[in-house]
Amino acid sequence: MSPKRTFQRAVVTGGAGFLGSHLSDALLASGCEVVCVDNLCTGSRENIGHLLGHPRFTFVRSDVSAALHVDGPVDLVLHLASPASPVAYTRLAIETLRVGSQGTSNALELAGEKGARFILTSTSEVYGDPLQHPQSESYWGNVNPVGERSMYDEAKRFAEALTIAHATRRGVDAGIVRIFNTYGPRLQSGDGRVIPNFIRQALADDPMTVHGDGTQTRSLCYVDDTVEGILRLAASPHLGPVNIGNPEELTVAELAHRIRGLIGSASPLRHLGLPADDPKVRCPDISLADTLLGWKPSVTLDDGLLRTIAWFSNNQEVPDFEPAVTSSPRGPKEKSGQS
């Protein structure tokens, strides 16, 4: 177990995005000051609208790939800046590669200059379409460097290599977290990720689009658990990489049926072609996170889905939602827009 460590002032790049905004919430709740840096190419002011008047929150609209300068002391740099959904990183391919390379370099330079702890939020996509299952941190991956997803996969792989180089050659206090599929309030409904797609379609009783035969698997972690895992790594001395995700695996078709049942929707399933390089399996080995950080997810899939469905119903142009099962999901702390 790692010793407890607290932070006074954190820089969160990509802090107006889905995950970045939740991390900002958690840091502020801990008493930390937060400087959120985001160029809003995929983030949204609505995600941080509830924070803009907070005395310990500062929003800086800036592209971290161009430069990253922050006045005053900083003891934590959380580097999340990057398009993260297939729709976004396909549309912004060059920008994705640039923020993974030059953006990561700038964030590492800032951490080195300030003597701050640096955390890179990497991704399970570094494993590609894995031949090892479940995926442990020692697995090197099966990535197509010129494939349809290469701009994201290779940007993150390079960012990891750059982080290791700064840690081992320049003494930067760094850590790498590999995040598996995360979901929750503030996900963008049209970004191509499976949970917002299914929820939006089921709430409207539209066909639920399943790519391929639906037997490909995903492991889904609610955003509160992911945030807790990231902050535990930040508070530890460990370099990593460390997987943060939910080891409970299910097929995409099972997920569609689960969401449809929770909503009580009449949506039929509609099968479409499988995207190129789409991973057939995805499941983390989290034994390292458990051993080093004492972390494992605590929010059940049904509870997390109900919270997410309720948020989409309240914040999107979809019908009102009444749970189809008896539950007491914790509602969102505020109303905000898309990530």
Strand 217-219 relative to strand 249-251: parallel, antiparallel, unpaired?
A: antiparallel
320 vs 303: CA distance, rounded Å? 18
User: The pTM is what?
Assistant: 0.90
For domain 9-183+221-244, give the fold.
Rossmann fold (3.40.50)
pLDDT value, residue 188: 86
Backbone angles phi and psi of 142, in degrees to 5: -135, 80
Work out the mean pLDDT of the chain and round it to a whole number: 90
Range 66-86 average pLDDT = 96
38 vs 79: CA distance, rounded Å? 11
Residue 329 has pLDDT above 80, yes or no: no
The pLDDT-based confidence of 327 (bands split at 50, 70, 90) is very low
**Lowest mean pLDDT, pick from 175-189, 217-231, 232-246, 263-277:** 263-277
Residue 190 has pLDDT above 90, yes or no: no
The pLDDT-based confidence of 317 (bands split at 50, 70, 90) is low
Question: Known catalytic residues?
Answer: 152
Residues 6+ apart with CB under 8 A from 32: 6, 7, 8, 9, 10, 56, 76
Amino acid identity, residue 30?
A: S
Backbone angles phi and psi of 91, in degrees to 5: -70, -35
Strand partners, 272: 211
333 vs 107: CA distance, rounded Å? 30
Backbone angles phi and psi of 21, in degrees to 5: -70, -35
Q: Which two tokens stand for residue 308?
A: 């997410």
Residue 325 has pLDDT above 60, yes or no: no
Cβ atoms of 122 and 99 closer than 8 Å: no
* String of DSSP letters for 221-288: EEHHHHHHHHHHHHTS-----EEES---EEEHHHHHHHHHHHHT--PPEEEEPPPTT--S---B--HH
Strand partners, 284: 135
> What does the radius of gyration of the chain's CA atoms come to, in whole angstroms?
19
Range 62-73 average pLDDT = 97
pLDDT in tens, 146-161: 999 999 999 999 999 9
Amino acid identity, residue 278?
A: D
The pLDDT-based confidence of 85 (bands split at 50, 70, 90) is confident
> 106-123: b or e for each residue (b if 16 or more CB lie within 10 Å)?
bbbbbbbebebbbbbbbb
